Chain A
Amino acid sequence: AQTVTQSQPEMSVQEAETVTLSCTYDTSESDYYLFWYKQPPSRQMILVIRQEAYKQQNATENRFSVNFQKAAKSFSLKISDSQLGDAAMYFCAYRSAPSNTDKLIFGTGTRLQVFP
């Protein structure tokens, strides 16, 4: 069975600085997707970024980028130029591909605080 581990329960960053959130996963599959979701105080789950395992190039979305190390089974999220609105819980997630189920497997989350 696949597992996702986030070893940083809390992180903090100063506004405009850069922060990296860690995620490792365990799987025997070769084809899968990895995600970072943001959950602000409203509790709405928001997709931040997605990475396909077959792609060597790291995904980027504006200020958000990932460092995907397939051999090490590591998938970290880098937030550049941090903003107060980035404060939230961040969840790393895994999904098999192709799959009959498409279920997402989440880590336990990292709470990010942003200080002015």
Chain B
Amino acid sequence: NAGVMQNPRHLVRRRGQEARLRCSPMKGHSHVYWYRQLPEEGLKFMVYLQKENIIDESGMPKERFSAEFPKEGPSILRIQQVVRGDSAAYFCASSPGLAGYNEQFFGPGTRLTVL
């Protein structure tokens, strides 16, 4: 059973370009979480999605950032018109979404560098 997959692992963008980060959850998992880790900091929650629904986006910046988790295919975190401050590692985690406790399994992260 493959783990959580994220691609690309490294992404370089120039200021003003768009960044698309992909996350394929573990097989059988229907819940996806996105976290951002700025240099020398802990992970910060951004958004929580179930298939075709955004459940909690309280950690998402109000502008330029969006996320989706379509019925088919990976979850996408999209950053429009990137700025240098968006440079960070972006982690995706998935869980099965069963009743009770569900462990979140993390992907290897995408390191975004904005030039």
A binding-site residues for B, Cβ under 8 Å: 4, 6, 33, 42-47, 50, 52, 91, 97, 100-109
Contact = CB atoms under 8 A, between A and B. Distances in A.
A47 B103 contact: yes
Interface in B43-70: 43-45, 48, 55-56, 58-59
Contacts of B91: 45
A102 B43 contact: no
A91 B42 contact: yes
Among B44, B93, B106, which residue has the most Cβ atoms of chain A within 10 A?
B106
Interface string B86-115: 000101010100000111101011010000
A42 B3 CA distance: 15
B20 to A, nearest CB: 20
Nearest to A89: B42
21 contacts: A43-B89, A43-B108, A44-B108, A45-B91, A46-B106, A47-B103, A50-B103, A91-B43, A97-B101, A100-B55, A102-B95, A102-B102, A102-B104, A103-B48, A103-B56, A103-B58, A103-B59, A104-B33, A106-B42, A106-B44, A109-B42
B41 interface: yes
Interface of B: 31, 33, 35, 41-45, 48, 55-56, 58-59, 89, 91, 93, 95, 101-104, 106, 108-109, 111
Contact of A101 (B41, B55, B101, B103): B55
Contact of B35 (A33, A42, A104, A107): A104
